[in-house]
Chain A
């Protein structure tokens, strides 16, 4: 595709509507170009990048114990006060969270909790499908946070997916890495 030639001063082009013909040719070309629609959730799904800030998750150390030391720095730095931490002392004498709740309805996914954490215990992961009919269900506790998926390893692709509504609304992916969505963008 080239840009329309300059027809200023040529009356023939003006008389035969060359500009209109150019416009029609352009839209005709677009008509037979590939669509950029991502057919989520029926057929396709987008995989987040590794830097994506989705649902929080809590990490475990090598022994499988929770990394969090319940210092409450995340709760302090949170701009919308959506984290609530109550510490306790476990059998080994370590400070651990007895309660670690995040109100996802209030979270703005800034990632400051992740930055503030001295123990590298909390991070924002790849999950982005956690809508709910009740805002009470959006308050997530410690044990749920430990089970949440972590950071994406690959990402930025569109993969084939399938909508599963049997138990919960789930969009299942079938391949680890998809195609680059930007490949279908038409550049002229």
Chain B
């Protein structure tokens, strides 16, 4: 009986998580367009619903009813597989991510995470590494020069930025003496990691921007020179999959930044519910992503590689060494 309840609870949590992750991009697209509009002194969507609030729904209906076009020369199997491969890893990663300690519902303590892995951080990085397959397959299967160029760029970019990203969090792991995200947050109860690891956060965040394919590192899409990069040939719901995946990765990088460097659900000064603190911090990072997008121009490809290998990698290595020495 207890096993059934536990399994049911896990199934419920997973379903809730998937629902949230699938639906969250809807308001996020609205927010992004509103931020874009106001930064450019426009208004953004205004006509569908109050201040355009129903615009994402209209967009969703449009994408669902659009022709699902597959190019004649495309590799049909890979072409259909790629959006799913791009979509699944960001969802899987959230299994390992804690959103808080626990809340009591009807006298039962319910933990706010699906599983507390002792190697959660490693799991996150391993799974998010798989996401690059969706991009490569998508670009390759479409049989279009823009898509191939876009996916080649993405491939090189993701692989080279995953290294500094992985190194950047080692300082955090050293401080917490654990790779469990729950323990990492608990270790920040008094002082957030950003105080000890400013360089680590900087490297992590910049690499995260590159990982999420956001401006100033969105060379995979680079609509000015590549059409739309690896998803040039995608339309309709398959394109929507790539978009949802992009927003999920953006959310993931925000959540990881909060958990690893900004104390997770630990608040400061103002006593708010821990979950609210967590949501507020994540919202700030999501806003930061969008704010960056409409402020900075795109880096050139060689600059991107130079930043990754010549700046971020040495910085992250130095960060590990200094943290280690300080620990001794």
Contacts and interface: CB of A to CB of B under 8 A. Distances in A.
Interface of A: 20, 23-24, 26-28, 30-37, 39, 42, 184, 186
Nearest to B292: A24
B303 interface: no
9 tightest A-B CB contacts, nearest first:
A27-B295, A37-B43, A35-B43, A31-B38, A27-B39, A23-B295, A36-B41, A31-B39, A30-B39
28 contacts: A20-B296, A23-B296, A24-B292, A26-B295, A27-B39, A27-B291, A28-B291, A30-B38, A30-B40, A30-B41, A31-B35, A31-B38, A31-B39, A31-B291, A34-B41, A35-B38, A35-B41, A35-B42, A35-B43, A37-B41, A37-B42, A37-B46, A39-B43, A39-B46, A42-B46, A42-B47, A184-B41, A186-B41
B294 interface: yes
B37 interface: yes
A12 to B, nearest CB: 15
Given A30-B38, A32-B38, A35-B42, 12 more contacts: A20-B296, A23-B295, A23-B296, A24-B295, A26-B295, A27-B294, A30-B41, A33-B41, A34-B41, A37-B41, A39-B46, A186-B41
A36 B39 CA distance: 11
Contacts of B39: 27, 30-31
A39 to B, nearest CB: 7
Contacts of A20: 296
Interface in B245-293: 291-292
Contacts, number: 40
A184 B35 CA distance: 18
A16 to B, nearest CB: 10
A124 B292 CA distance: 48
Among A32, A35, A36, A42, find the residue whose CB has the most chain B CB atoms closer than 10 A.
A35
A173 B187 CA distance: 63
Contacts of A37: 41-43, 46
Nearest to B42: A37
A139 B39 CA distance: 44
A28 B38 CA distance: 9
Contacts of B41: 30, 33-37, 184, 186
Nearest to A26: B295
Nearest to B216: A20
A18 B35 CA distance: 23
A87 B2 CA distance: 100
Nearest to A29: B39
Nearest to B297: A23
B108 to A, nearest CB: 44
Nearest to A33: B41
A20 B272 CA distance: 32
A27 B292 CA distance: 9
B284 to A, nearest CB: 13
A26 B291 CA distance: 11
Contacts of B38: 30-32, 35
Contacts of A186: 41
Nearest to A37: B43
A27 B215 CA distance: 15
A36 B43 CA distance: 8
B194 to A, nearest CB: 15
Contacts of A33: 41
Contacts of B295: 23-24, 26-27
Contacts of A34: 41
A186 B39 CA distance: 12
A33 B38 CA distance: 8
B139 to A, nearest CB: 30
Nearest to B46: A39
Interface string B19-45: 000000000000000010111111100
B206 to A, nearest CB: 10
Contacts of B42: 35-37
Contact of A35 (B35, B37, B47, B294): B37
B280 to A, nearest CB: 18
A36 B40 CA distance: 9
A26 B295 CA distance: 8
Contacts of A23: 295-296
Nearest to A39: B46
A125 B46 CA distance: 32
Contacts of A30: 38-41
A34 B291 CA distance: 17
A28 B295 CA distance: 9
A32 B41 CA distance: 9
Nearest to B202: A17
